[in-house]
Chain A
């Protein structure tokens, strides 16, 4: 694989003026490289004091190598959570992350390191909720009212390797849930809040031809 075969030009933004013929038009062609990394991680939910496993997935990014801006996707496989309500009532639930739009971000090169900043957005959906082992009815649309925005970045003391990958960490808030039936109030008392953290490890990057 050669760079010449993997780099591709994408006609990008044409200014309004150029489009109108008011100024000489010089289409800006972005050079896009598509990268795929393995990704896996965890998220700590502050309110429930529990950790959710973010199962293995693929982070795909279309990187503009002239600017460092990228868009991409990070589908998160369904997972589960388990915690104690009121400190002693065991609660279990399946957790799904429904992507909203693309992952957007940017890679910046400092003098000696590459740093990633990105934001992914999901509805957080709960199902199969069990309290003290007993199933409860939460319906099929028990999810956050508004998407949860999860910003991540390369830790301050680390760099991101375009191919080898790196760690991405962030802190985010979870808003209120809706459509959870009789569990709505309970869930909203237990889960929403700030100070949740996410830790993702990206690795094994490849350039997609």
Chain B
């Protein structure tokens, strides 16, 4: 898998991940990752941008107009052999988030990790399946606050350098781990969905995993 610009944009929006997301989520395949054609061991700063994103619990649908992984604090892609944590996303700015009742503030917590689970070739056109782990996000407004924690399924397209997060169906490992207010419509234990497409970029060049 080659991530050209890197990154991970996970969508996490509401998230909050919990380390207890489940054993299956805590694992990923190992890859040789090259950035800008070099697979020398190291880290490479990345940024990412996303258009509209959506997130939901079974009772409410929410969304943001855009999101970005900023240059600071730095998020990184690891290059080298035997890489499991392909990328570490240390902050996502969610912009223009709303839900029933109005604006929402979404903040990420901790370092989200990108893991791959499917095979990758030496080519630059793989679409590698995986998940974003260690998601934690706090969502709040004047009458509601909740935390989402866990992992979200996604793919990384080497050709487009796009990370597509697609956690849908309320059946995965992304869950509400605490909730207050919300007029009773968000409760601890609810499953959460999260979808968005992040275009990843690194000044060091395209990211490629194999």
Interface residue ranges, A against B (CB under 8 Å): 3, 6-7, 31, 33, 35, 63, 65-68, 107-114, 159-164, 205, 207
Contacts and interface: CB of A to CB of B under 8 A. Distances in A.
B18 to A, nearest CB: 21
Interface stretch (B28-36, B79-87, B118-126, B136-144): B136-144
Contacts of B102: 114, 161-164
Nearest to B141: A162
Contact of B100 (A33, A112, A205): A112
A105 to B, nearest CB: 12
Interface stretch (B42-50, B88-96, B166-174, B181-189): B181-189
Interface string B183-208: 11100000000000000000000000
Given A112-B100, A114-B100, A160-B101, A67 B142 contact: no
B181 A65 contact: yes
Contacts of A63: 143
Contact of B183 (A3, A7, A108, A111): A108
A113 B103 CA distance: 12
A7 B100 contact: no
A109 B185 contact: yes
Contacts of B185: 109
B180 interface: yes
B144 A65 contact: yes
Interface residues of B, number: 19
Contacts of B181: 7, 31, 33, 65-66
B152 to A, nearest CB: 21
Contact of A3 (B59, B60, B145, B184): B145
Nearest to B181: A65
19 contacts: A3-B140, A3-B142, A7-B181, A33-B181, A35-B142, A63-B143, A65-B143, A65-B144, A65-B180, A66-B181, A108-B183, A109-B183, A110-B100, A111-B60, A161-B101, A162-B101, A162-B102, A163-B103, A207-B142
A70 B100 CA distance: 17
B61 A111 contact: yes
A38 to B, nearest CB: 16
B59 A111 contact: yes
A107 B145 contact: no
A102 to B, nearest CB: 19
Best-buried of A65, A108, A109 by chain B (most CB within 10 Å): A109
Interface string B93-127: 00000001111000000000000000000000000
A174 B181 CA distance: 37
A115 B176 CA distance: 24
A3 B179 CA distance: 13
B183 A65 contact: yes
A59 B185 CA distance: 24
Interface string B153-180: 0000000000000000000000000001
